[in-house]
Amino acid sequence: MGEDFEALTVADYAKQAAKTDQRGGGQALGFSMLGLFGETGSLLSVAKKKQRDAASYLGYADAVAEELGDVLWYLAAISRRTRFSLSDIAAAAIREGGEWVMGGNDALTFHSLQPAHIPLVKAPTTAFENTLLTLAGEVGGLLADFRPGLPVVTAELRRRLVTVMGRLIQAANESGVTMEAAAVKNLHKIFDRWPRERVYPASFDAAMDPEEQLPRRMTIDIYERTVRSQTYVYQRSSGAFVGDRLTDNSAEPDDYRFHDVFHYAYVAVLGWSPVLRSLLRLKRKSAPRIDEVEDGARAILIEEGVTSWLFGQAQQLEFFAHVKVGGLPLDMLKHVRQFVAGYEVAQCPLWLWEDAILQGYAAFRFLQQHRRGRVTIDLNNRRLRIKDLPQ
């Protein structure tokens, strides 16, 4: 480690985690309890998958660290909502007999919760499995003691939280994962999704010549026209057609013929779209490797695949009509990132992907309703705008 390395304290983690807490109100504690129960179940599921698919489950170690971090996050949320300090809970968890000392534990680091050396473990051991089952039992007991609307028995709740933290630390020891690594991974994930500050990354083609850059501003007119009893979507920009006329390409009509609006959203918000680069002949030919990998046929297929998969998800959720910023499922966004792994757009944070998806679907819903619209790509301001298109 470099000289500038500073060990993460439990108190600092709890402070940072609190900034991403999206829940408030009277049901927040109950939600956190359910979250703790659910993430504990996910941790058990990771061990089960490794047993079932030992050869093919290659992400075991990362998955254990992620799930340990998720359990820790909900434990921090419960401690915060019940006015206990997470650092006090962690300190009691490693003391003989779980002795409780309130205050004075803010300097406690995650590193100090575990042995100096933790052996690497590539598969769940019997001890780890037993600890996970015990952890699940303790979390179940915590939920059994909780009754919404009734007073919380402070001493019993505190004992339960200390016991759960102790089992979590033990599980980390037996899985070969440091609590610090799990906490850092968790902070990275939650701020990737719910950032402290929204800082837009530079456009991927910022260093390229203007002739090879995606448009910073572009207006496209989208409208339907029926030709010989078949309805098509046409798109025009500055008097020229953009791409081919489109149909749904589906046995059942679903308005997918308007789907290019999603590609426009990717340009406007992410500064990325191999599809539009191809349509507008903006491939980065001056950089052969980038042209081949980032702007080539495979990248185009990846973008179309992401778009089609998201459309299937959106159909089940009224095309995200009632989803607000911060409300898209985390797992959905993680799947999108898995789709684009290995490509430049994988660098985009999850919150930016959500912006692109929600803006694209807002425009799509407008087109569904009005059957035509004037779309404006505004990459400089990371916005996709749509308004009525005059007849």
Give the pLDDT score at 223: 96
With cut-offs at 50, 70 and 90, classify the pLDDT of residue 1. very low
pLDDT above 90: residue 11: yes
pLDDT above 70: residue 55: no
Identify the CA nearest to 375 among candidates 287, 269, 230, 275. 269
Which one is predicted more confidently, 149 or 111?
A: 111
- pLDDT tens digit sequence for 170-208: 999 999 999 999 999 999 999 999 998 999 999 999 999
Which residues are bridge partners to 222 per DSSP? 235, 373
- pLDDT tens digit sequence for 226-258: 998 899 999 999 999 999 999 988 878 899 999
pLDDT above 60: residue 46: yes
CATH 1.10.4010 in the chain, residue ranges: 10-193
Give the pLDDT score at 25: 54
Q: Residue 105 — φ and ψ, nearest 5°?
A: -115, 15
- pLDDT tens digit sequence for 254-292: 999 999 999 999 999 999 999 999 999 999 999 999 999
Measured from the Cβ of residue 368, the count of other Cβ atoms closer than 10 Å reads 13
Which residues are bridge partners to 250 per DSSP? none
Give the pLDDT score at 2: 47
pLDDT above 70: residue 3: no
DSSP state of 112: G
Which one is the CATH code of 10-193: 3.10.170, 3.30.70, 1.10.4010, 1.10.357?
Answer: 1.10.4010
| 230-237, strands of its sheet edge to edge | 240-241, 230-237, 217-227, 372-378, 383-387
- pLDDT tens digit sequence for 371-384: 999 999 999 999 99
